[in-house]
Amino acid sequence: MADGANMKFSMFSVQDHHPRLARTLTQFYDEIREQVMLAERLGYYAFFVAEHHFHDYGIYPNPAVALAQMAAVTEKIRLGPAVTILPFRNPVTVAEDYAMLDQISHGRVELGVGSGYLAHEFAGFEADPKNKRFQFDEALTVMKKALSGERFSHKGDYYEVDDIQLNVTPLQKPFPPIYVAVLRREAAYHVGKQGNKLMTVPYSACDTFEEIGPMIAEYFKGYGESDAPAGDRATITALHTYVAESDAQAREEAAAAFDLYVETRLYAKSQVYDDIVKSGLALFGGVDTVVDKLVRLHAIGIDHIALLVNFGGLEDKLVRACMERISAKVIPAVKARIAAA
């Protein structure tokens, strides 16, 4: 059962697609649907999918569509984008999409939002990346107002809304949990200062495992200076993950797939399998290795891990075996270690 003491464990995939492999796009979509059903059976807290455009790095241009399918084949697991990119869509439309999804799923949406970072996506949407932070902040304000169900108007630098009210509002009130994604350590403070929840991928935001703690601390510091209720503070930390019976077996089964995944990342920073094992910014290795690292993450205040298990065309049977091993061996051991401490 995927329920470690004081820690939540979720599944997450960017859904990078590799046409030169034998697996077709349709087959990949089918595999992901089956994996979310397995994640629910194993007791994982949530299943997250990414939004990407115009490149095989990610094949969910609209996560809400895929998540609606997932909602139809599950009953308990929470579902969400990690993230939906607000500058690429009208925030009122985003609010409508996820309000409807929250109703369809009976209140299971976890809503990750971000400003985007890939140059080709901004070019494809004819959006200016120089303004993305300001546009994102305004879009988030509009989206929250729309999701809350209130009748409102808004006139800003990027959006203008004249006296509207959504006819479909979320089941969760005032709206689903909203997490703001950051790819830079210094941004974590500002997310906290705004009273928002935090979502981060240390692979992108940090250079070493030791930098994760200070980044989370910056978020906590900012949140402490906000007017938001202390009980609403929350983080999700996403880490590439592959757990085998030993470190050597993990490398044998997952290194090639992870290195292929890295090839599709469209910005300068990249760490192949051996690099990321050295930096510590992934959960790769045998059961004991990963348990030790998760206990250390809990000690620095991380209470929700999103496990990036499906990457680089990794065979479905290996993804599923990893999910089962984490549930059966890793999480119980983490739970016992945390309880003992």
Q: What is the pLDDT of residues 32-73, one digit of tens each?
A: 999 999 999 999 999 999 999 999 989 999 999 999 999 999
Report the pLDDT averaged over residues 229-251: 97
Report residue 264's pLDDT band, with 50, 70 and 90 as the boundaries: confident
- Calculate the alpha carbon distances from 4 to 8, 98, 128, 174, 177 in Å: 6, 28, 42, 28, 21
Report the pLDDT averaged over residues 205-229: 95
Report residue 105's pLDDT band, with 50, 70 and 90 as the boundaries: very high
Quick one: what percent of the chain has pLDDT higher than 90? 91
Peptide bond preceding 83: is omega within 30 degrees of 0, i.e. cis?
Answer: yes
Q: What is the DSSP letter of 109?
A: B
Q: Which two tokens stand for residue 303?
A: 């209470």
Residue 41's contacts (CB-CB under 8 Å, 6 or more residues apart) are: none
SS3 (DSSP) at 207: coil
pLDDT at position 267 is 64
In this predicted structure, the answer to whether residue 247 has a pLDDT above a threshold of 90 is yes
Instruction: Please provide residue 228's backbone torsions phi and psi, each rounded to the nearest 5 degrees.
Output: -75, 150
Over the chain, what is the mean pLDDT? 95
pLDDT at position 5 is 58
Report residue 220's pLDDT band, with 50, 70 and 90 as the boundaries: very high
Give percent helix, percent strand, percent coil of the chain, each to the nearest 5.
50, 15, 35
Question: Domains in the chain, please, with CATH?
Answer: 8-340 (3.20.20.30)
In this predicted structure, the answer to whether residue 333 has a pLDDT above a threshold of 60 is yes
